[in-house]
Structure 1
Amino acid sequence: MGEGRTEDQEEKPLKVEKWDHNAVRIALDDAAKKIVLDNLGYVEDFKLIDGRLLICTAAVGFALFALLWDFLHPFPESKTVLITCVLSYFALMGVLTVYANFIEKTTFLLAREKDKAGVDPDIVWKFSSKMPKYDDNYTLTIATTPPEGSERSADFTRSAGEFFDEDGLLTEKFEAKVMELHKSLEKGKKMQ
């Protein structure tokens, strides 16, 4: 029985509480990610997530080292090490905040389009979204950086309500819109 998910579970339509702003944005991001990875066969690139995990691991490492050092050398003796580790932890949390706000920004997916022949380098596709607080407009931006050219991007802004029915189920309009946006960038990809 524990072999994985059945077809019914995979094909179950996405349902969301349509009045929960964050849930709607996250549902649309997840749906776009699934559409791109399933329909286009791209491979997800975990570079941004790995960077965040590396920073968090270093911060937790400092915290664990402080705990271990304090256990082996009780407080008065471990004062300098504890202060150093606590300051390092908070500095890394600052680095994490800068990383999330200025490097990751609103990116929810980096995907690589592999060359079928395996000769050309991968084409990187970056998917990001915005949905301002107290606003129902969802903006999806797709940017691509072909190996031989400069970055191109395209986006659309639509009311999130266009993509959900009365029961909060995601409709096929969203998939069509994502594929249309992707196709608009793909046209200029191989004009050789």
Structure 2
Amino acid sequence: MVALDLDTDKVVPLCVQVVKSKGYTEDTRLGNWKLAIGAAVIAVALLAQFYPKKFPQNREFLLGCIALYPYILLNLVLLILSYTKEKDAILFTHPPTGSFNSTGLVISSKLPRFLDMYTLTIASADPQSISANKPVHFTKSVTKWFTKEGVLVEGLFWKDVERLIDDYNSERKSK
């Protein structure tokens, strides 16, 4: 078996482009929350680092910043957000403009280590919504989208992602 040097870094941005070309806009709320929490973590760390007193006198303050409350708590919140909301998602969207649909999409991808089988999943951003649909996915070998030199054939990948979005939308119409 020959190891390929595939440029898989282009797959996710291309997938995002395809979804946006279908009229969906990116929902950045979760990312913004994570950035705000991360900034708060950094602020606590900077406050602990540059507190006006030197080490023996600021010991209680440092313990309060690091061990007791803000630093660990905020990092725990980031971890919980990653595991419960984000999971394998690469894109969250709003519904298309002018659509009767009240929920956007969650696009997730998986490429297990040491395997060539890539799974792309499209699901509703709000599974409890009345306009939510069952998730659709495909699993395909990444070798179908790359040349022997490891260059992504964007047109093939684009068509597969478009077909998956159309499958999701046609499933909704058949409800």
The question of a shared fold, defined as TM-score above 0.5 by the shorter chain, is answered with yes
Aligned equivalent of 1:48: 30
Q: Which amino acid aligns with 2:167?
A: S
Q: Contact 2:5/2:150 (CA < 8 Å) preserved in 1?
A: no
1:164 maps onto 2:146 in alignment? yes
Flag structure 2 segments of 5+ consecutive residues without an equivalent: none
> Is 1:77 aligned to 2:61, yes or no?
no
Residue pairs, 1:7-22, within 5 angstroms = 18-19=4-5
Residues of 2 paired with 1:92 and 1:189: CA distance?
A: 39
2:172 corresponds to which residue? Answer: 189
Distance 1:30 1:18, change over 3 A: farther
Q: How far, CA to CA, are the matches of 2:133 and 2:95 in structure 1?
A: 15
RMSD: 2.4
Partner in structure 1 of residue 104 of structure 2:
124
Q: How many residues align?
A: 168
Q: Distance in 1 between matches of 2:164 and 2:80?
A: 30
Matched residues in 1 for 2:88 and 2:101: separation?
Answer: 25
SS of the residue corresponding to residue 187 of structure 1 reads helix
CA distance, structure 2, for counterparts of residue 105 and residue 59 of structure 1: 21
For residues 104-160 of structure 1, what are the alpha-carbon distances to aligned partners after superposition, in whole Å with 9 as ceiling and x for unaligned?
11000011123427xx56430110000111101000000125853344210000001
Q: Deviations over 1:60-114 (max 9, x none)?
A: 1111121232xx2222221111111122324433332332233211000011123
Q: Distance in 2 between matches of 1:54 and 1:115?
A: 28
Distance 1:150 1:42 in 2: 15
In the TM superposition, what are the counterparts of 1:106-117 in structure 2 within 5 Å? 106-116=88-98
Identity of aligned residues (%): 27
Give the SS at the match of 2:172. Answer: coil
Q: Which has the higher contact order (CA 8 A, sep 6+)?
A: 2
Alpha-carbon separation, structure 1, partners of 2:115 and 2:35: 31
| C-alpha contact (below 8 Å) 1:114/1:123 kept by paired residues | no
Whether 1:33 and 2:11 are equivalent positions in the alignment is no
Deviation (angstroms), 1:50: 1.6
Change (3 A) 1:122 1:27: same
Q: Partners in 1 of 2:66 and 2:4 — Cα distance? A: 42
- What is the CA–CA distance in structure 1 between the aligned matches of 2:165 and 2:96, rounded to whole Å? 16
TM-score (norm 1): 0.76
